[in-house]
Amino acid sequence: MTRQLTDQLGDLISTGGLAIGSLLPSERTLANSLGVARNVVRGSYEYLEKAGVIQREGRKGRRVRAKTSRKKAAPHKTAKKMTAKKR
């Protein structure tokens, strides 16, 4: 089920059915409207996030990401602190 939903969402995004910058439904809302478990939607969203297709905006939700706006992951703050302590 997760794979099917991922494919369907990916197709909607690639064909322009979901425009760049558009807000995706919450996990609970989409799961209820499709009649699937919430973890199916969560798994699909996580896969699309890792693929760089959508981005999470904290409590605001998830948005469709522009193809050219891939950001490089910044080093985690804790890692910086740990490195500084070792010196």
Please list the alpha-helical segments (H only) found in the chain. 2-14, 27-34, 38-50, 77-86
**Can you tell me the distance from the alpha carbon of 21 to that of 60, in angstroms, rounded to the nearest whole number?**
12
pLDDT in tens, 7-59: 999 999 888 898 999 999 999 999 999 999 999 999 999 999 999 999 999 88
Q: What is the pLDDT of residue 70?
A: 46
Domain assignment of residue 12, given as a range: 2-86
Q: What's the structural domain count of the chain?
A: 1
The CATH number linked to 49 is 1.10.10.10
Q: Which tokens go with 8?
A: 């369907």
Q: What is the pTM of this model?
A: 0.72
Question: How many CB atoms sit inside 10 A of residue 22's CB?
Answer: 13
